[in-house]
């Protein structure tokens, strides 16, 4: 880690493209310190080309700067405000030969950032690095300013211009893994920030985050937590969990009703295998009418072979759930079990269960999966999914590339990010209402 203290005012011009006198030294980070009080406010997992954000803590600086699940961190390092040209010289002199040096600048009132890769000059022990730009600090109250850009060099190729004011500097490691970010946070000194470059869709975003000290005393000592407050928070959290579980249960019940409507619709279209599958899915959620229709399908062999063993069980289950939907063969056998229904579901045209086909989506991407096309009238279309929408999770599981997620089966819940806003979509009654009007 490069530590910086305020240095004496140096009015002279420094040309960073001139080679430093000493050879570069790689930036070294010590291992993580589990007792470190610093927290960045993000949950993450390693991805193919960096680190994917899977959660952002409400109230953290990451949340304030609108980092969202699905962002892919591909570079990171310590950020600081340079006090003089010598800080830039030092960053270039110690460049390890990989990664970038991030410059945060102001031009005409607009904030810009440039990830520069210094170029090598010389070989072996004489190898040095340079950027091809000059900087100076005319007076103590003026930010460090670019005073010269050498044509056809690193700074010029990035579009850095004379007059740009440097307000931040960060040597970045690239690519990064989750352990690299843990090390950055664990070894944070309390000064400066941690700069993270991320990709979201086709855009690159800079997040300049200051970790928060979890051991810092409260600003208001009288607001210290009491045991009663903690218990109250636990009770409120438990109530919220119960509310969410009730919502999930209601959603599953609605899904079962949806399956009945889809089954009837498929039956009317002569798609008996599909109808049989939907009736089985609704019966699994204890819908009596679905169990009764499933028994008929099993007795008659519609949409698959007849099954005289399971048919009476489906009738018995229908009778148990609601006598209105009981069938004459109900007394001939025990009610069908969940395991039998699960096996039945898996035996009926498993291609109907694939995520891409069931929702009507085409997708692309390895680290970040985005929608490329939506089938008109499909479930995805009815939910408002459009090309460019990011697919973050299905049924609570992270995605690992378009090819992998498109073949997942039985997807009932999808977490997306559209236009910077995250949402969870369910296999709801939307299609039922449309199909049964």
Question: E-assigned strands of 122-221?
Answer: 128-130, 133-136, 144-149, 165-172, 193-200, 203-209, 212-213
Cα Dmax for the chain: 99
What one-character-per-residue DSSP string does 416-430 give? EEETTEEEEEE--TH
Tell me the pLDDT tens digit for each residue of 235-254: 787 788 888 878 887 877 78
Residue 266 has pLDDT above 70, yes or no: yes
Tell me the pLDDT tens digit for each residue of 378-400: 778 888 899 999 998 888 888 88
Tell me the pLDDT tens digit for each residue of 41-69: 899 999 888 899 999 888 888 888 899 99
Question: E-assigned strands of 177-225?
Answer: 193-200, 203-209, 212-213
- Residue whose token pair is 């600003």: 219
Nearest C-alpha neighbor of 164 from the set 93, 116, 98: 116
Higher pLDDT, 416 or 99: 416
CATH of 240-351 among 1.20.1050.10, 1.25.40.10, 1.10.3080.10, 3.90.226.10: 1.25.40.10
Q: Indicate the SS3 state at residue 174.
A: coil
Average pLDDT of the residues of the chain = 77
- What per-residue confidence (pLDDT) applies to 32? 39
Higher pLDDT, 173 or 258: 258
Report CA-CA distances (Å) from 387 to 361, 381, 391, 417: 9, 10, 11, 11
Domain locations in the chain as residue ranges: 14-211, 240-351, 354-435
pTM: 0.42
Across 298-316, average pLDDT? 83
Tell me the pLDDT tens digit for each residue of 272-287: 888 888 888 888 888 8
Sorted by sequence, the CB contacts under 8 Å of residue 10 that are 6+ apart come out as 84, 85, 86, 137
Are the beta carbons of 255 and 248 closer than 8 angstroms?
no
- What per-residue confidence (pLDDT) applies to 283? 85
Tell me the pLDDT tens digit for each residue of 318-336: 877 766 666 665 555 577 7
- What per-residue confidence (pLDDT) applies to 385? 93
- What per-residue confidence (pLDDT) applies to 433? 27
- What per-residue confidence (pLDDT) applies to 187? 87
Tell me the pLDDT tens digit for each residue of 163-199: 999 988 888 876 688 888 888 888 888 888 898 989 8
CATH architecture of 354-435: Roll (2.30)
- What per-residue confidence (pLDDT) applies to 347? 55
């Amino acid at each position: 880690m490069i530590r910086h203290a305020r240095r004496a005012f140096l009015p002279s011009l420094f040309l960073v493209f001139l080679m430093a006198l000493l050879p570069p030294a790689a930036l070294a980070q010590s291992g993580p310190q589990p007792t470190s009080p610093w927290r960045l406010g993000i949950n993450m997992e390693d991805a193919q080309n960096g680190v994917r954000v899977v959660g952002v803590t409400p109230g953290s600086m990451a949340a304030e700067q609108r980092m969202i699940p699905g962002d892919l961190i591909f570079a990171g390092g310590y950020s600081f405000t340079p006090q003089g040209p010598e800080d830039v010289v030092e960053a270039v002199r110690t460049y390890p030969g990989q990664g970038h040096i991030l410059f945060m600048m102001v031009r005409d009132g607009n904030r810009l950032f440039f990830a520069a890769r210094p170029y090598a000059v010389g070989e072996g022990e004489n190898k040095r690095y340079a950027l091809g730009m000059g900087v100076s600090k005319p007076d103590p109250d003026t930010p460090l300013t670019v005073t010269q850009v050498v044509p056809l060099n690193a700074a010029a190729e990035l579009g850095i211009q004379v007059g740009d004011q440097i307000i931040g500097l960060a040597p970045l490691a690239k690519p990064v893994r989750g352990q690299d970010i843990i090390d950055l946070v664990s070894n944070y000194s309390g000064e400066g920030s941690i700069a993270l470059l991320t990709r979201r869709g086709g855009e690159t975003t800079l997040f300049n985050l200051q970790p928060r000290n979890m051991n810092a005393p409260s600003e208001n000592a009288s607001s210290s937590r009491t045991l009663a407050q903690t218990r109250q928070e636990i009770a409120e959290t438990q109530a919220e969990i119960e509310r969410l579980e009730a919502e999930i249960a209601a959603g599953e019940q609605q899904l079962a009703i949806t399956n009945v409507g889809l089954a009837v619709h498929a039956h009317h279209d002569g798609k008996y295998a599909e109808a049989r599958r939907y009736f089985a899915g609704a019966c699994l959620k204890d819908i009596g009418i679905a169990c009764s229709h499933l028994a008929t399908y099993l007795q008659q062999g519609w949409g698959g072979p007849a099954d005289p063993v399971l048919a009476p069980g489906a009738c018995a289950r229908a009778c148990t759930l609601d006598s209105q939907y009981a069938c004459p063969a109900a007394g001939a056998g025990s009610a069908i079990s969940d395991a039998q229904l699960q096996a039945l579901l898996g035996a009926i045209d498993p291609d109907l269960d694939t995520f891409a086909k069931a929702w009507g989506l085409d997708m692309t991407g390895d680290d970040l999966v985005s929608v490329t096309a939506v089938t008109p009238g499909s479930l995805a279309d009815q939910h408002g999914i459009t090309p460019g929408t990011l697919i973050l999770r299905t049924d609570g599981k992270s995605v690992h590339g378009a090819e992998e997620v498109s073949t997942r089966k039985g997807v009932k819940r999808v977490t997306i990010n559209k236009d910077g806003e995250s949402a969870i979509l369910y296999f709801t009654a939307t299609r039922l209402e449309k199909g049964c009007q």
